[in-house]
Amino acid sequence: MPYHSRMSHVYIHVPFCARRCVYCDFAIAVRRHVPVDDFLEGVAGEVALREAIPGALETLYIGGGTPSRLGSDGVARLLDLVRSRTTLVGDAEVTLEANPEDVTADALRAWVRAGINRLSLGVQSFDDRVLAWMHRSHRSADVHRAVADARAAGITALSLDLIFAMPDQVPRDWARDLDTMVSLAPPHVSVYGLTVEPQTPLGRWSARGVVTEAPEERWAAEFTLAHDRLVAAGYRHYEVSNYAQPSQEARHNSAYWADRAYVGIGPAAHGFDGTTRRANIAAYAGWLTAVRAGRDPIGTAERLSEASRVAERVYLGLRTQEGLVVSEAEWGLVRPWVDAGWATVGAWHDSSTRVVLTPEGWMRLDALAASLTSVRSC
């Protein structure tokens, strides 16, 4: 069935990576040589089978995996495929995730010609020892060169990622990484705490006691230091893990957090039509086989109950600086959060009363969301 015409956001998952990072549990396909033709055949087939791409796009996000491994020609062909099915509105945000070592002057020129206007770089650290431990394929010098080359090519919308809370056994100067990030002054910064997933090298090391997770106190201290350094440098902490210079918020991800509908294309891609969440077959080979056989490559689908919708709206609202509308009846629950310094409550520009979590509150997001959800579900 065609997706509803009100959808205007598309995510395309490109699963290919040169190697797997020690912490990664994403659905990726490690390939020395990327099967660009086969992948594009699969994307075209899925789009045709599902009639999945809306009539006009406000945002297109090409994520992974490592989409930059498609090469300059592969990215251009993917954008041509999208344009053959839809229209990108005049100011559409078109994001490509890339590893720094893939960002060359030639590739950038080709990406810009193809329509890429925002680049998201997986930096993770500026310490080469930490990058080697993570099993990343780039080094700090690659990041500096990639940022300079992207700006020279005319891509001013840059987002850089960092990971904090390394295991105790991994020496890392978090303050220095933040200082380096501020010196590069990208318009957008994402900061994620390291999580230990069981089915990863890091998870196996942790199970054997080879590494130990960062204690909660250090996790909180590093989260707070990132907030303080980035806000002091002029960034707005607009979502629990994301910071932006004025008017540089990620429009695609903001659509997720605003609970808007979106389409997901590619292996393991997720989508939401307003009532049902679906996820495609995760394995690249399984996804491609299904599409070639003329089958919708759906892996799972969940029609959300009203209780689930309530829980999602609460969680998504509390994780952003837009906050969550609260009723007078809920003030009794929220007031202790304000007294503890975890939240603020006030009138919004639309005359609503909203609760907005502070950085201290965001560190308790799951617990606070659960308590408010339990009240709304009664």
Number of domains composing the chain: 2
pLDDT recorded at residue 2: 43
Widest pairwise Cα distance in the chain: 59
Both 215 and 343 in a single domain? Answer: no
Q: Which two tokens stand for residue 230?
A: 């980035």
The order of strands in the sheet holding 188-193 is 236-239, 242-244, 188-193, 157-164, 118-124, 87-98, 56-64, 9-14, 263-265
We report the CATH number of the domain holding residue 340 as 1.10.10
Both 236 and 361 in a single domain? Answer: no
Last residue of a domain, one of 257, 280, 295: 257
pLDDT recorded at residue 327: 87
150 lies in some domain: yes
Contact 64, 97 (CB under 8 A): yes
Both 107 and 208 in a single domain? Answer: yes
Looking at residue 371, the DSSP 8-state letter turns out to be H
When pLDDT is cut at 50, 70 and 90, the band that residue 6 belongs to is low
pLDDT recorded at residue 140: 97
pLDDT in tens, 219-272: 999 999 999 999 999 999 999 999 999 999 999 999 999 999 999 999 999 999
Give the residue-averaged pLDDT of 93-108: 96
Task: Give yes or no for residue 288 having a pLDDT over 70.
Answer: yes
Q: pTM value?
A: 0.95
Percent of the chain at pLDDT > 70 equals 98
Both 252 and 328 in a single domain? Answer: no
Q: Which two tokens stand for residue 201?
A: 């090298």
Last residue of a domain, one of 257, 292, 326: 257
Last residue of a domain, one of 236, 257, 278: 257
Both 67 and 213 in a single domain? Answer: yes
Looking at residue 2, the DSSP 8-state letter turns out to be P
H helical segments located in the chain: 36-50, 71-83, 105-114, 128-134, 140-152, 174-184, 201-208, 216-232, 251-257, 284-292, 306-318, 331-339, 359-362, 365-376
Both 338 and 214 in a single domain? Answer: no
We report the CATH number of the domain holding residue 185 as 3.20.20.70
According to DSSP, the residues that pair with 276 across neighbouring strands are: 303
290 lies in some domain: no
When pLDDT is cut at 50, 70 and 90, the band that residue 52 belongs to is confident
274 lies in some domain: no
Give the residue-averaged pLDDT of 29-36: 94
296 lies in some domain: no
* Sequence-distant (≥ 6) Cβ neighbours of residue 294 within 8 angstroms: 49
pLDDT recorded at residue 4: 44
Both 250 and 311 in a single domain? Answer: no
pLDDT in tens, 197-225: 999 999 999 999 999 999 999 999 999 99
Both 44 and 119 in a single domain? Answer: yes
pLDDT in tens, 300-358: 999 999 999 999 999 999 999 999 999 888 888 999 999 999 999 988 878 888 999 99
Both 250 and 358 in a single domain? Answer: no
Both 38 and 114 in a single domain? Answer: yes
Both 225 and 369 in a single domain? Answer: no
Task: Give yes or no for residue 3 having a pLDDT over 80.
Answer: no
Supply the range of the domain harboring residue 98. 9-257
Contact 257, 250 (CB under 8 A): no
The mean of the pLDDT values for the chain is 94
| DSSP characters over 216-257 | HHHHHHHHHHHHHHHHHTT-EEEETTEEESTT---HHHHHHH
Give the residue-averaged pLDDT of 151-165: 97
Rounded CA gap, 123 and 156, in Å? 17
pLDDT recorded at residue 347: 83
280 lies in some domain: no
Q: Which two tokens stand for residue 128?
A: 């080469």
Both 213 and 314 in a single domain? Answer: no
286 lies in some domain: no
Give the residue-averaged pLDDT of 14-34: 94
pLDDT recorded at residue 51: 84
291 lies in some domain: no
263 lies in some domain: no
